[in-house]
Amino acid sequence: MSASAPRTGGPDIELEIGGMTCASCANRIERKLNGLDGVRATVNYVTEKAKVTVPEGYDPQLLVAEVEKTGYRAALPQPKDPKTASPTSDGGAGGDDPELASLRQRLIGSVVLTVPVIAMAMIPALQFTYWQWASLALAAPVIVWGAWPFHRAAWANLKQGTATMDTLISMGTSAALLWSVYALFWGTAGTPGMTHAFEFAIAPSDGAANIYLEVGAGVTMFILMGRYFEKRSKRRAGAALRALLELGAKEVSVLRDGAEVQIPTAELRVGDEFVVRPGEKIATDGTVVSGTSAVDASMLTGESVPVEVAEGDPVTGATVNAGGRLVVRATRVGADTQLAQMAKLVEDAQTGKAEVQRLADKISGVFVPIVIAIAVAALGAWLGAGFPVAAAFTAAVAVLVIACPCALGLATPTALLVGTGRGAQMGILIKGPEVLESTRKVDTVVLDKTGTVTSGKMALVAAIAEPGADREQLLRFAGALENASEHPIARAIAKGAAAEVGELPVLDDFASVAGKGVQGIVNGTAVVVGRESLLADWSQRLSPEVSAAKARAESEGKTVVAVGWDGRARGILIVADTVRPTSSEAIAGLKRLGLTPVLLTGDNEAVARQIAAEVGIEEVIAEVLPQDKVAVVSRLQSAGKVVAMIGDGVNDAPALAQADLGLAMGTGTDVAIEASDLTLVRGDLRAAVDAIRLSRKTLSTIKSNLFWAFAYNTAAIPIAALGMLNPMLAGAAMAFSSAFVVGNSLRLRGFRSVIG
């Protein structure tokens, strides 16, 4: 970039990138784009998108051309017709993605053709007359067609003067095929009745009797398997955004000339008045024009206590009307709503997340050039020593063949398969190999309070009767009355009362008092349940003792409902979100892993600190607005912390995406689950401890697999360079390294949970 061309803060352009096979591809594209004057780019390998800031008036096609010159595909996003676009049309888990479909076809075809090739090569009893020619017919399509993505990527790397795992895979599989063809047509390998003899002696050979088709086909099959599952995982990156946007209501009843007209939510305009009936979602952000109700905002805010709204109060789109009929005037629509802003936060967090550079690619950057240099050196040394060209070429090709890491193709997929399978048995879903690296580095765990540390559901936690009043009758009368209400707090009281006293009486009469509570007749007695002001309307007063208990409960963030009948206040019922029974044990487990827990909540400081003290958390960040949770995570990261976030609500999705490691409670919303890296299916916080332990164990297994996969091959390279490679040695090295990798991975099946 020219030193005189300052960076500008112009418009952002998003590019869809195709053809990337590893994180180094993203880095290469990023460097090329940043080399353009006035351009600042960030390329995300997982989402396959580039976010580019350009000067005013910059032609986006110049960016597309630059990416294509680098050897990859680029395109500007095409607007989708909302009437025809399906939820998975942009590459979701179930979408018809051409690249994923192509990988799947190559994988299936390669498995079908490769299995018999490997079986014939490793089991002498299956080596019938002309078996080697059958192997060629089966393996050639795999190495040419199945491995075509690797050959294409290797060619692109060659044009850029770089080498990655694709280069090594392409070279190794091609060398195995070409030498096998040479040995079959011009050597002695094609002789009828030829077998791969198991000789322990190492002696110089011209290699013309050896074929390596099982190596080329096997490597292709296993690497394709790993790439397919990785690609399928990547395609889910946009699922959080889709799930978030799909939370909103699809249709809305708008008031036009006094009549209700049903229209798509997308056609709403600012100032339109619309009707929200009990149980319906609020279509967009607005202000209540008429009506009173309780709004369940838990799916958006994560807080379990419903919000009472009346005329003039603001409401948020995608929340649920849990009470009466409301008329709302739209104040924000489309991209301006709180829901859309959260979707933007999730997208920004995913785009900006730092990618983990694959260990295999890092090693390949050094390993591939060294292998090529050794092969060329061996060729030159043999020719210089006066040996025939065939012998010299055999030694050089043998280096490439033995260096082609068959076990490397198994290293990540097998450990990931066993590790994720064991995790699934334990209720832990791991989304991809890049997640594992994050678990090792994490030092801070941020926990959302509601639905994570606590149950996230309102429950009756106490019933305090007035002096002289009967507590069981208090529960029976209040439970019967609240059982007729749709209010979330009423449902909690009715459920708790029924659990304690059994069947509730039948109501003779029932009425709701807007904003205050309910009243009715139970067993011939007039009963009132609700705010203290409702009882005051009936000249019923709480005693000083009960009033003090009410004040204490409310100071702890709990909801208190007063009950009275026959001209007297009879007591109070306390409703609250309860701490999960296993939360304390889970926090202790996280601390044993060397992690610092932080409680994050929108509740007031006093409530948050009480919950934190109960479960053993010292650090508390309270009174945080839903949209500001991502800022808290960013601030901790800026302070040098590597942050894991555990949450369950829609409002947690941006923070889960922003965090270095996102863990979603399986009992939470789909949005939180899709935005996370790990999902704890059982909703037990102790599963977070298991998830981090299992992820770290799986990562260490992958690393040991990678080490030994390279070590075995590297140790055999000098033997190959000296021309002492025979079929037995090659087969044994490949088989032993592969068996070690598989066996090492299978040890993960013995992983034990901390949950009894």
Q: Which of 53, 2, 68 shows the shortest CA–CA distance to 352?
A: 53
Q: How many CB atoms lie within 10 A of CB 365?
A: 16
Say how many C-beta atoms besides its own lie within 10 A of residue 357's C-beta: 17
Residue 511 per-residue DSSP state:
E
Check: CB of residue 555 under 8 Å from CB of residue 606. yes
Phi and psi based region of residue 435 (left: phi greater than 0; alpha: psi -120 to 50; beta: remaining): alpha
Count of C-beta atoms within a 10 Å radius of residue 731 = 18
Query: Among candidates 288, 291, 342, which has minimal Cα distance to 315?
Result: 288
Residue 443 falls in the annotated catalytic set: no
Neighbouring residues of 158: CB distance < 8 A, sequence distance ≥ 6: 167
**Pick from 352, 335, 354: which is nearest to 343 by CA?**
335
Q: Can you tell me the distance from the alpha carbon of 165 to that of 168, in angstroms, rounded to the nearest whole number?
A: 5
List the alpha helices (DSSP H) in 385-487.
389-403, 406-425, 433-441, 471-482
| C-alpha pair distances (Å), 131 with each of 75, 143, 182, 461, 486 | 47, 18, 16, 75, 75
Spatial distance between the Cα atoms of 401 and 289, rounded to a whole number of angstroms: 76
b/e code 563-587 from CB counts within 10 Å (16+ = b): bbbeeebbbbbbbbbbbbebbbbbb
Cβ atoms of 744 and 701 within 8 Å: the answer is yes
- 523 backbone dihedrals φ, ψ, rounded to 5°: 50, 40
Whether the Cβ atoms of residue 704 and residue 740 lie closer than 8 Å to each other: no
Token pair for 580: 């999960």
Name the catalytic one among 285, 448, 577, 677: 448
For residue 248, give the nearest of 159, 338, 163 by alpha carbon.
338
Task: Please return the burial class of 199, using the count of CB atoms within 10 Å of its CB with bins 0-12, 13-18 and 19+.
Answer: exposed
**CA nearest to 683, candidates 455, 458, 457, 460:** 455
The owner of tokens 């060397």 is 594
Asked whether the beta carbons of 738 and 436 are under 8 A apart, the reply is no
Identify each DSSP E strand in 207-278 by its residue range. 251-256, 259-264, 273-276
Residue in 663, 685, 684 with CA at minimum distance from that of residue 674? 663
Distances (CA, A) of 692 to 155, 431, 655: 39, 13, 18
Are the beta carbons of 650 and 299 closer than 8 angstroms? yes
The four Cα atoms 231, 232, 237, 242 give a dihedral, to 10 degrees, of 140
Residues β-bridged to residue 562: 530, 572
Nearest-CA neighbor of 349 among 657, 606, 29?
A: 657
Point out the residues that are catalytic.
448
